[in-house]
Structure 1
Amino acid sequence: MSTVSHRLTADLTASRTSRPTVLRPAGPGQHQEWGPPPAADSPEAVLEDLCGPLFASLRRSDQRRRGAEYVQGLLSTGGRKSIRNMAALIGGSGTGQRLHHFICSSTWDWTPVRRAMADYLIRAAPPQAWVVRPMTIPKVGQHSVGVSRYFSPDEGQTLNAQRAVGVWAVSDGVSAPVNWRLHLPQTWIKDGLRRNQASIPCEVEPETIGDCAVTACQEMLDGWGLPQRPVLVDIGEADPLATIAGLRARGIPSLVKVAGDALLTVTDPGLTGHGARPMSAHGIMRAARNMGRPVTWRRSATTAPRTSLVTTVQVGVRGSRPGGARETGRLLLVGVGPVDRSSAPELWLTDLPATRAAAFPQWADGVRRVDQAFDDVTSQVGIRDYVGRSYSGWHRHVTLASAAHTVAVLSTTAGARPVRAS
């Protein structure tokens, strides 16, 4: 168990008897009964403060109570966060059955809950960027919604798994997921029996993993009233050119990671003589060796400064789609690497101007911070532990696991405090 999870479990279970306290949030506008006020940055304080707005869209008090219990169970239960294990910790007759119904069979909409969580996060820790991260959930068998066999470049082998993308808010000291989209391959979308058994909505159509990323961003940035920030996408399986074209078509500024063998056309006046034919991204960076500039930046306000070498080159790309090619327009190829050139730079495509180059290293670092947060916190609160077969059950579980993650990071991060309702 990670240090963060160990502390959370200890804090949430300290001062309890053998049976944990069951949190009972009241309805909107009503006084909430939570017992003695906890410390300002304790998990209990954040959980208390978050649950009110988080579950305000749930009309029934028993649903709001189940939601708080489920988040508490994810934070407090050791090992696999199964409903059975969480119910045993929470206690009470019929708790497991009620939690199962709340996640798998109830009708509450997870979208307003996610929006409330995003609103809470941007007030507690205003984001500098949004990061899109893939999630793989290995599975045994073929019955979990969306499960399929696919080759994982990262693992170097074929996996039987669910795949999803998460959109994360990344701030000075906090990284937390706010939206999720489950990738459903054609084997699920076109099979009427499987669709019915998993209760997949009729409006869900086949899409690539890159399409998932674009749609997940559009859902939250178009309809939730969130601040516009650069979107960073690092999904090795996705077509980066199609992804940046999709985001650009929706007015979403982005940086999309590209492989060194991606073919681009140089349009930068500083690299004359290289625009006659497409070149690999690595080749362009080699040609632009003398165009790099050192940029000093900080991971957070409390960390030591770092210096990266940032190289920007104007390029043109052509994104392919079934049925023909589509111009994505002029973009920047950005290289971010060590100033001593001891390793190859990370390569990104962006529609942001070169005048933002000073921010590129910190934005690119957001991907690593999200990866670390996923390993240290998200995985520990059971984001991949849902074993049900329903589409809606999966979405409700990952929504509440994201809420548990938010409680975890806000109660362990200096400078981020609960947002007190006025």
Structure 2
Amino acid sequence: MGELCAELFAPLPRSDQRRKGELYLRGLLSAGGRKSIRNIAACVGDRAAEQSLHHFISSSTWDWNPVRAALAQYLERALRPRAWVAHAVVIPKAGRHSVGVGRRFVPSLGQVVNSQEVFGLWAANDEMSAPANWRLMLSDDWRESGRLGSPRPSESNLAGTPLECVAGAASELQGWVGGPPRPVVLDLPDTEPAAVARRFGAAAMPFVAGVRGSTRITPAAPVLGHDNRDVTADQLLRMVRTLRRPVTWTDPETAAVRTSLVAAVPVRLPGTRRPLLLLGEWSGPGGWPQHCWLTDLVTVPWGGLLRLAKLTQRVACDFTDISTGVGMVDFEGRSFGGWHRHVTLASSAHAVQVLSGGVPRRSQPVARPA
């Protein structure tokens, strides 16, 4: 905790800001129940602390980006992530005034929900993960209104589509940590795969993107007697199912080692020039593939690609097990900056829990071939 706070709050210019930052972080880790500012203040201070912390989060002017950059650099050293993993979160809201709130259709619920929709970019390896950067998706009404505060947020933070959210957060994160670009693992089922390939290709960032089996794909060369006309991803993978290989991976929900059958085939998409690969996964010897991914990591072994794709499950488990407990979805204010400052410190609390072993792990490191 002390080690992380020393790095995390070094960019803050004033000593009282650094002190309040550590106080708020400790409150996220120790307060019971919902992590409201009132509960945090009751846990770490008194009534005066509530007003002070409210100003520190919702009304202060400190920039959260240098703090996130420090967190990302710390995670890079301590966690040694294999990839950045995008994780979407829908947060139901009762009223209309919380920042970014709107009515949107949620496929997992099958209905329209008054909610916020946010996207986190997580540093992840097979055993653990932690959020490092965030975007709050904003409707046209929110972006054009004066409700986002002053100064106006940067255009990078005013994303209006899931792809803009993920790509912008990933580019920013990569800029903070430097070095060779890490793969971005994402699943945006309502986004055209060609748009994903073009966006990440332009940014020179490798990607592994989940796609629907009904997605129309063009094979890069004739496949097993079939010409190179476009077919669905499911159909194309079924044509190459005789090439399938077994791959082992660890299920983060049960800690069980599982075996899947995988196959891949080179493909093309309109408007893209980089070589691409379509990867499919089967849980048994028959039937259609259960999952499909598109990637430009054409030289990575199929087993490595599948384990990269499965990092989305690692992140989903850690979000449920850890992030919700440190208040990631508990901010109720109207302030755009307040939301970003809160999730930045909640991400830091998540990192403390993960890296200190403060929560039970569902799975343990498993040795296996690359």
TM superposition score normalised by structure 1: 0.79
The aligned residue for residue 368 of structure 2 is: none
The structure-2 alpha-carbon separation of the partners of 1:341 and 1:98, relative to structure 1 and needing over 3 Å to count, comes to farther
Any residues of structure 2 matched to 1:179-194 within 5 Å, and which? 179-191=133-145, 193-194=146-147
The aligned residue for residue 249 of structure 1 is: 202
Aligned partners of 1:202, 1:218: CA distance in 2, in Å? 14
Given that residues 247 and 254 in structure 1 are in contact (C-alpha distance below 8 angstroms), is that contact kept between their aligned partners in structure 2?
Answer: yes
Aligned partners of 1:224, 1:297: CA distance in 2, in Å? 28
Aligned partners of 2:326, 2:245: CA distance in 1, in Å? 41
Any residues of structure 2 matched to 1:250-399 within 5 Å, and which? 250-276=203-229, 278-297=230-249, 305-318=257-270, 326-327=271-272, 329-341=274-286, 344-399=289-344
How many residues in Structure 1 have an aligned counterpart in Structure 2?
358
The structure-2 alpha-carbon separation of the partners of 1:405 and 1:69, relative to structure 1 and needing over 3 Å to count, comes to same
The structure-2 alpha-carbon separation of the partners of 1:377 and 1:226, relative to structure 1 and needing over 3 Å to count, comes to farther
Aligned partners of 1:143, 1:240: CA distance in 2, in Å? 34
The aligned residue for residue 80 of structure 2 is: 126
Q: Which runs of 5+ in 2 are unaligned?
A: 365-370
Secondary structure at 2:343's aligned position in 1? helix
Residues 1:54 and 2:8 are matched in the alignment: yes
- Give the counterpart letter for 1:385 in structure 2: D
Aligned partners of 1:85, 1:341: CA distance in 2, in Å? 53
Aligned partners of 1:82, 1:181: CA distance in 2, in Å? 21
Secondary structure at 1:392's aligned position in 2? helix
- Between the two proteins, what is the percent identity of the paired residues? 44
Given that residues 115 and 224 in structure 1 are in contact (C-alpha distance below 8 angstroms), is that contact kept between their aligned partners in structure 2?
Answer: yes
The aligned residue for residue 404 of structure 1 is: 349
The aligned residue for residue 212 of structure 1 is: 165
The aligned residue for residue 19 of structure 2 is: 65
The structure-2 alpha-carbon separation of the partners of 1:156 and 1:222, relative to structure 1 and needing over 3 Å to count, comes to same
The aligned residue for residue 98 of structure 2 is: 144
In the TM superposition, what is the alpha-carbon distance from 1:91 to its structure 2 partner?
A: 2.0
The structure-2 alpha-carbon separation of the partners of 1:341 and 1:122, relative to structure 1 and needing over 3 Å to count, comes to farther
- Give the counterpart letter for 1:236 in structure 2: P
Given that residues 159 and 165 in structure 2 are in contact (C-alpha distance below 8 angstroms), is that contact kept between their aligned partners in structure 1?
Answer: no
Aligned partners of 1:235, 1:208: CA distance in 2, in Å? 10
Aligned partners of 1:406, 1:368: CA distance in 2, in Å? 18
* RMSD between aligned residues: 2.3
Aligned partners of 1:97, 1:282: CA distance in 2, in Å? 56
Give 1 or 2 for the bigger CA radius of gyration: 1
The aligned residue for residue 165 of structure 1 is: 119
* Deviant stretches of 4+, over 4 Å: 297-300, 413-416
TM superposition score normalised by structure 2: 0.90
Any residues of structure 2 matched to 1:49-128 within 5 Å, and which? 49-128=3-82
- Give the counterpart letter for 1:83 in structure 2: I
Question: Which of 124, 130, 153 does residue 176 from structure 1 map onto?
Answer: 130
Given that residues 194 and 272 in structure 2 are in contact (C-alpha distance below 8 angstroms), is that contact kept between their aligned partners in structure 1?
Answer: no
